[in-house]
């Protein structure tokens, strides 16, 4: 804790006075009381980014799906399980937020209905009907009082096309893209930052270092926007 205070003390306060609301980790969509659909997100990138935002002086609310990670010091964590719970927790945290960062690997689909009791195994095939989950980031970005929104895209191929397509479709000023095989579950990551000025590839590095780069880029874009609004 002392070390964390020292590191934070010597960090430039690029986000001082800002409130950042973030999501991280996977979501878990119940099939029955024990089974569910999830994904391989470890939450490490989101937690590293929450810590970097905090070190940069921001007030941070981290809405987190199930991970085994401890909350970074000074970060206000809200634990959720499903995408619907995550949407509600984000909505509750949004007032006064300057920045929203959607890092969570929100499940795109959930079972249409969850069984109340554990489904007993049978020897035959089973069909599961899935219904689309809300797109939390798109919903936040579409609000009339939307904060500055940063998206994440983890793709297994054609990163530029998918990432930039996602950024434009959701009208995000900034998006962090990476290839699934480069980051998911690992301690390292290699990302490309996308914004209105183009693509900015970053070197492969520890997720803590990548998080610091993202904060610097974000702070730069916030400064440009503030200058523009002041004109």
Residues at the contact surface with its own copies, assessed by CB under 8 A = 28, 31-41, 68, 105, 107-109, 112, 117-119, 121-132, 135, 154-157, 180-181, 184
Pick between residue 98 and residue 155 the one whose CB is nearest to its own copies.
Answer: 155
In angstroms, give the least distance from the CB of 43 to its own copies.
10
In angstroms, give the least distance from the CB of 30 to its own copies.
9
Pick between residue 40 and residue 196 the one whose CB is nearest to its own copies.
Answer: 40
Tell me the C-alpha distance between 77 and 161, whole Å: 33
Name residues whose C-beta falls within 8 Å of residue 150's C-beta, 6 or more positions apart in sequence: 99, 100, 101, 102, 172, 173, 174, 175, 176, 214, 218
In angstroms, give the least distance from the CB of 109 to its own copies.
6
Tell me the C-alpha distance between 62 and 64, whole Å: 6
In angstroms, give the least distance from the CB of 39 to its own copies.
5
Which entry of 39, 133, 178, 189 is annotated as an active-site residue?
39
Told to judge if 39 belongs to the known catalytic residues of this protein, a careful annotator would answer yes
Pick between residue 13 and residue 35 the one whose CB is nearest to its own copies.
Answer: 35
Tell me the C-alpha distance between 80 and 148, whole Å: 23
Tell me the C-alpha distance between 22 and 94, whole Å: 10
> Tokens at residue 27, please?
């979501």
Pick between residue 91 and residue 138 the one whose CB is nearest to its own copies.
Answer: 138
Question: Which of 131, 116, 130, 176 shows the shortest CA–CA distance to 150?
Answer: 176
Annotated catalytic sites, by residue?
39
């Amino acid at each position: 804790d002392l070390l964390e205070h020292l590191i934070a003390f010597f960090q430039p306060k690029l986000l001082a006075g800002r409130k950042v609301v973030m999501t991280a980790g996977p979501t878990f969509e119940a099939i029955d009381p024990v089974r569910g659909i999830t994904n391989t997100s470890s939450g490490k990138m989101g937690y590293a980014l929450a810590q970097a935002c905090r070190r940069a002086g921001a007030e941070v609310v981290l809405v987190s799906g199930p991970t085994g990670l401890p909350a970074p010091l000074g970060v206000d964590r809200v634990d959720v399980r499903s995408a619907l719970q995550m949407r509600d927790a984000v909505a509750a945290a949004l007032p006064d937020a300057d920045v929203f960062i959607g890092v969570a690997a929100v499940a795109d689909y959930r079972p249409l209905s969850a069984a109340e009791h554990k489904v007993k195994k049978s020897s035959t095939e089973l069909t599961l009907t899935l219904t689309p989950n809300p797109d939390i980031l798109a919903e936040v970005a579409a609000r009339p009082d939307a904060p500055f929104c940063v998206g994440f895209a983890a793709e297994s191929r054609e990163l530029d096309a998918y990432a930039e397509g996602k950024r434009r479709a959701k009208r995000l000023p900034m998006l962090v893209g990476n290839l699934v095989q480069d980051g998911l579950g690992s301690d390292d990551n290699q990302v490309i930052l996308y914004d209105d000025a183009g693509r900015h590839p970053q070197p492969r590095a520890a997720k803590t270092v990548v998080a610091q780069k993202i904060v610097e880029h974000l702070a730069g874009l916030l400064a440009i926007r503030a200058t523009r609004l002041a004109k």
